[in-house]
Chains A and B, each alone.
Chain A
Amino acid sequence: MALNRRISKFFFPSLTPNFVIRAGCIALAAYLVFGHLLTPFWIKGNSMEPAYRNGQVNFCWKLRYLFSKPYRGDVVVIRFTGERITLLKRVVALENEEVEFQNGKLLINGKEQEEPYLQYPYDWTLPARRVEPGSVYVVGDNRSVPMQNHLFGQTSLTRILGGPLW
């Protein structure tokens, strides 16, 4: 009987001022944390496989690049359009660096790069180009698709919202 009462009190609490204040504080904290610091996102697509798979859920840690710029190899969340549509890509070249693809090899300033995060072979060839100041060059990990069908390139640092939590 007492247990029943406790269960019913847990699911249907009485609306006392204390309860309302507590519920309000929790709602505010949830809004601040999940709306501005750790925004949840849902991965749609295979462009970051095998590190991030289609259908996975993750959180964007928005304070990650508050005091620093992204490093080469970092996975970043990029604002694509509006507030809701974002891209998950890996930074392969930093500002003022020269990036190039030669028969499936990534070259930065003419030097071939090791990319342990790649699982699938690819055959992209793209002439060398210099990354503009205030930008980074991002590419997905799954480069098995034709280059024309893969969204990659240089993007402004201002578009980087943060990094995935894991």
Chain B
Amino acid sequence: MVTPVRTTGKPFNPTGRVAKKSPSVGQRSMIPDWLKIKYVLVSMALIAIGIGIFFMFLESEEKKVKKQFHLLSEGVSKETGENIFTLDQKLKKIGSLFNDTCDMAIPAHSISGQMTREEITGYAARGRLYVSELHLTFHDVMITFPQEGEARARVTARLTGKTTAGEGINEAHEIDCLLKKIEKKWLFSSIEVVEVLKK
């Protein structure tokens, strides 16, 4: 016969059962159960809201790329009676969105080849002389990241407005863009208008 040796000084309990301590009368919890659940739910909701706010303010790379398109559309757009100060600001804005050199291919305007930032702003400035009102908007923006620091975007660019001769402008083009991340900024490095119909 083997006699169990008690070494811990605790009462012998071979089955490992834990005796439930029944709360003594007059020692009831101060918070009722339903209120505890309520606290848990409220704290979970607060955590969810916190996470939501965090992700809302955390700018994803895709958002940053989309922002560049938004800024380009703001820079290119022209309102009637635009003053020189606004023009200067907008041209600076356009220039800041492009890489030092950018490959351009716009067959409709016979533009093809590499252009410097200065050439692009110069072209934009000259182009504005022929329009009294111009609005550029981007739709159906599809962004992919083929490799680190590169973003490829396929967008629909819609140009509306009026020429100085009073003719209406209403054009839409599919554009393929390559943006490169340089010093934490996404800059346009290539813009190509997709030729849907080749004569």
Contacts and interface: CB of A to CB of B under 8 A. Distances in A.
Interface stretch (B2-10, B17-25, B190-198): B190-198
B32 to A, nearest CB: 36
A136 to B, nearest CB: 11
Interface string A147-163: 00001111100010000
A154 B198 contact: yes
Contact of A81 (B194, B198, B199): B194
A78 interface: yes
A78 B198 CA distance: 13
Main secondary structure of the interface of A (DSSP, over half): strand
A153 B172 contact: no
B156 interface: yes
Contacts of B196: 78-81, 87, 155, 159
A154 B156 contact: no
B156 A152 contact: no
Nearest to B139: A82
Interface string B173-199: 110000000000000000000101111
Nearest to B199: A153
A84 B194 CA distance: 16
B140 interface: yes
A83 interface: yes
Interface of A: 78-85, 87, 126, 138, 151-155, 159
5 contacts: A82-B140, A84-B140, A85-B156, A151-B197, A154-B197
Interface of B: 139-140, 156, 172-174, 194, 196-199
Give the 6 A-B residue pairs with the shortest CB-CB distance, closest first: A153-B197, A82-B140, A82-B156, A81-B174, A153-B199, A81-B156
Given A126-B199, A155-B197, 11 more contacts: A78-B197, A80-B172, A80-B174, A81-B156, A81-B172, A81-B194, A83-B140, A84-B139, A152-B199, A154-B198, A155-B196
